Structure formats: structure tokens, C-alpha cells
Structure 1
């Protein structure tokens, strides 16, 4: 028995125009909306998605069958809190449509390739748009005693770093694998923004995770004539919570330039893409380049997710920005 029995609307039956319009709006079991009516809606606050930053745990062990064949890249260690630093991007309706159209055409063009399935990051199973990310750290793990100090350090650094909000744009598309080559990701590459904002944020995040004994992201060996960055390490044998509060170097010495590594993942696959798939991807990007290159991704804050708790670290809009940490 249905929970509620709805009777047919007499007004719809009496007005054939209403009935026809209703039928025209429902195509393939999904209601067709005029996207223009949503374009002027204000964006959701950045903290909205933080309320749903975690899902219900379905198993106490790593079970790929529960996650579409995906395997945990970082093994779970009892007592450690999974941590990730990132920039979140929730594409507006028009930009979501542009990226979705590109991905849909790619999925269609590669549908005949054996055992290669592309899974989208753009929407949920129910069709709701999902936030996308620019990573500023690896998936790392913090012990309980370090959680609060780590977030407090980041809050202090971002508050005083002098990096103002900025935008980034899309420069290309590529297929990249994770560290273990167990998944491949379709990513949008990003152009280096003015004042090198992404590299500076990465530098701060790498210093912060390094103080807590965690590996950096996109680290590479610098040329011999390049001075090493000034970094403070947490004292051996002590928890940061019991030692003097650490600080971050106040300049960009030895910053390096991993600009080509920054990206936004829009889809994933369990198997490596063939050369044919890569060629199709490149050709489709060229056809959509005029639209994709017009997309601007605003960088106003970074997010620190420790366990199930997400902290928003807002970039200050005031003050100048130069070559040093404090904009001098």
C-alpha cells in the first residue's frame, strides 16, 4: 500500500495545456528543468557541503566491493585521524553544464572500449551536483594529541600569510594515476595564477604537515644552487601538543614551481586509459576549449578535514601581496 494516495488534479484534467506541459517536462523518468531559472540563484554557503563530508561506514575493513572496486590508498591505522587539506569548488550551474557536457561526450566516445568504465565526480547517484577539489596535501594521518594544534597552526598561518583571494583557470585535461596505480583520474589542469597563489598555499601546507611528521605533496628535489626552504620540525620523541607552538618560515625561499601538478579531478577509472582514450580525450578538449578556458575557479579559502570535522580557513581580502609571506 502506498504511503499516500494522491488523487488526480481536476484542474489538470480540465486544462489540456497543463497536462501537455507536464508531460513535456518529464523525459525518461526525469523532470526537465529550464536551467535559466536556476542561474540567478545565490550559491550555497561553503560550509553547506561540510555537513555531508563523510558517509556512513559500511565495514570495519577495506572492502572494494562496497566502493565500486576502489581500494583504500592510505591504510587505516587505529588511533590516527585521516586528514586532507584542499580547496573546494562548487561549479555554478552554467559551468557545471559545460564540464558535464564535455564528460558526457567522452563517456559516449569511449563506451565501446572493453573493460574501461569512466565514473563521474560531478554528480551524485541522484543527479545532485557535487563539490570538486584542488588538493593541497596527500591523505595523511594525525594522532589525537596533534589534531587541535595542527588546525590552530593552519589557522594562524592562513590568517597572517598575506595571500589574497584569487582565481585560477583551466589550461588542459589529462589522465593521471594515484600513487599506487590502482586508480586513474581524469583531471582539469590549471594555469599558474598571478602572484603564484597556489604554490604559496602549497608551500604553507607542506610546511605545516612536515612539522607534524607527515609527507609533503608535490615535493621534488630542487636544483643544487637553490636554497632549501626554512622548515621547523617537531621535536623528536615529543607530541607537538606538549612542545612550544611551532611557526612557519616567513618567506618563499626555495618555493619551487609544481604548477603543472595542480588539478581538479572530474572522473575516475579502475584501469589505465589506452592511448586511443587519451587521444579522444585530447581531441574533445580542443573542441570544448573555448568554453572550458572561460571557467574561473575562485580561491577564497582552504579546507582542513580532520576525521569528520571540516575547518574553513579564509584568505583575507585586505592588504597587499608580494613575494614574502607577509606581502612585503
Structure 2
């Protein structure tokens, strides 16, 4: 069967009938009354996960005054582990209201104090939001594929299944270098502590490859990591040294280059009072984590079922 039935040359030259003349109008009405198209899958956005490179050096003027905090090393692949969330239109509303209200009431001194939103691009297109599971790290070419394989294997056998998260409040936090401050949504601790488990697991894998862990100052020696990830005698204790860093998990929704002063902090407290009820009703379903190595994004799904007694970490 043909995908499109094109008219013959004779049909094109003939005088259209009454039914033919009304057909385009009917199709237009059908189009106007058709239901909304389904949302694009998240993998579609992964194809455009990086912006166009417009400079070969660090130029803060190209991106709102931000400075590169992790120096670029030729031959290294910048890497980041994270959870991505695409808010629905309804979920964007309370988030947008918080930032708009804050901008409307806050009068910064100079451009560096300006509040910038993470919710939309410069053209107004909605953007995804993130929960970080690693610092910005970098891998040599010969390591990057092996790292992703190791992470996929660890997640698959971890027993960490899809879960929901909700919001606990608003706050301002700085990056490690204190060159930017972020307006963040604090997260409620999930029922089975999945965020801490995902972070713990991610930290173990990145440290095996000589990379720094996130939200910890006590990296585990490489020899211990190798033993824990391969020895059957210690698999059941994999989570024993997991730290509770629930207060560190967040989703950034805006940023500024200057440390929030008293005025901005007080306004943020007011936002919590006025908008937290709407924000607390949002439930975010977490079904996968993402590994971005260079421009390549790998989606790693959380296992939905786990065979009893066959998990790598004995859970």
C-alpha cells in the first residue's frame, strides 16, 4: 500500500468536484480537533545534549559570566553522571512562579547579582533539570567505554528499582569553588533510600577509575574498592559504609554569580512559605540514570525485577 496517494496528471487537470473542494476544509477541522501529540521520548533530547562550541578557550562572556571550574585537558572526555527530569507543563508552573516572584522582588546590584533561570533556554524552550551523581570528571579515550560498561553492570545488579522523589524545600547552595550559587529544590529521602544508594554506587565506580567522589571527603583506597566489587565474602556488606547525605541532594532551578545576601535569603524563605504547598505535590518518577561522556549520553535503566539471591551486592 502506498504511503501517499498522489493524483494522476489527468486528475490534476480536471475540474474538482464539490466534494473535492471541501476536502481541505474538512482536513483542517479534523486537525484542529485532534488530540495533543504525545511527548517526545527523553532519548530524543539526548541527541542535542550539548550546545555548539563557539570558542576554543574559556570565555565567561559567552555564557553569562560563568567560568570553567574543571580545566579542559586535551584528549580527556568530560563526564557527568546524573538523573534527568523533564517537568510537565503543569509542573513547570509552580517552578516558574517561584523564580518569577523572586526576580520581581529582588533588586540586585550589578549584573553579577542577577538571577538566571535553568527552566528555559534563551529562546524560551523548556529545559530538563538534573540531580547530580558525580562531579564533573574526565576520562582518557581508552577508559571511557570501560567505565560506562562498569557502571551499567553495577546498576543492573544493584537491586535499586524505579522510585519516586518529592521536594522538601528551597535553598541556596554554592558549587565546590564558590564561583556560583544555585537556587535549589531540596529532596525528600525516598522510602528505600535509593538516592544515597545510587550515589554510593556511582562513587565506588568512579573511584575505581581514579576519579573524585561526590559529597564525600573520604575516598576509598583503590585496593579496597577492587576487593569489595569482586570478592564474594564482602558483597553483602557493600552498603555498610554508605553515608547518609540526603541533605546534599537537590535540583537546581536558577543561579547567580554572587553569594546570596540577607535580602535574597529572606525572600527565598518567603517563597518556601508561599509556594511549598504546590511544590510538595509534585512526584518525580525516577527510572534511569544518565552517563554523559563527551557528547554521548547513555541511558542506564534501573532494574524493575531482581532475582532473589543473584544481585551483585546481595540485596
Instruction: Quickly name the TM-score band, shorter chain normalised.
Output: 0.7 to 0.9
How far 1:113 sits from its partner (Å)?
A: 2.9
Query: What residue is the counterpart of 2:147 in the other structure?
Result: 150
Tell me, in whole angstroms, the C-alpha distance in 1 between the residues paired with 2:307 and 2:267.
44
Please give the per-residue CA displacement for 1:250-280, whole angstroms capped at 9, x wherever unaligned: 3211101000000000011011111110110
User: What RMSD in Å do the two structures reach over aligned CA positions?
Assistant: 2.6
2:108 is matched with which residue: 106, 113, 121?
113
1:175 is matched with which residue: 163, 169, 172?
172
Which one has the largest radius of gyration? 2
- Conservation of the 8 A alpha-carbon contact between 1:229 and 1:252: no
Q: Structure 2 stretches of 5 or more lacking a match?
A: 1-33
- Conservation of the 8 A alpha-carbon contact between 1:137 and 1:217: yes
Give yes or no for the alignment of 1:81 onto 2:77.
Answer: yes
The correspondence of residues 152-167 of structure 1 with structure 2, limited to 5 A, is 152-167=149-164
How far 1:179 sits from its partner (Å)?
A: 1.1
Distance 1:221 1:76, change over 3 A: closer
Please give the per-residue CA displacement for 1:141-187, whole angstroms capped at 9, x wherever unaligned: 10111011000001111111111100110001111111111111111
How far 1:83 sits from its partner (Å)?
A: 0.2
Structure with bigger helix share is 2
3-state SS of paired residue (2:41): coil
3-state SS of paired residue (1:47): helix
Query: What residue is the counterpart of 1:242 in the other structure?
Result: none
Query: What residue is the counterpart of 1:272 in the other structure?
Result: 259
Query: What residue is the counterpart of 1:25 in the other structure?
Result: none
3-state SS of paired residue (1:232): helix
Query: What residue is the counterpart of 2:44 in the other structure?
Result: 48
Distance 1:320 1:280, change over 3 A: farther
TM-score, normalising length from structure 2? 0.81
Please give the per-residue CA displacement for 1:46-102, whole angstroms capped at 9, x wherever unaligned: 212101111111111111111111000100011111000000000011001111111
How far 1:44 sits from its partner (Å)?
A: 2.4
Query: What residue is the counterpart of 2:225 in the other structure?
Result: 232
Distance 1:327 1:197, change over 3 A: farther
3-state SS of paired residue (2:42): coil
Give yes or no for the alignment of 1:295 onto 2:290.
Answer: no
TM-score, normalising length from structure 1? 0.78
Tell me, in whole angstroms, the C-alpha distance in 1 between the residues paired with 2:199 and 2:212.
13
Tell me, in whole angstroms, the C-alpha distance in 2 between the residues paired with 1:114 and 1:298.
39
3-state SS of paired residue (2:56): coil
> 4+ residue runs of structure 1 moved beyond 4 angstroms?
227-231, 246-249, 324-327
2:211 is matched with which residue: 211, 214, 238?
214
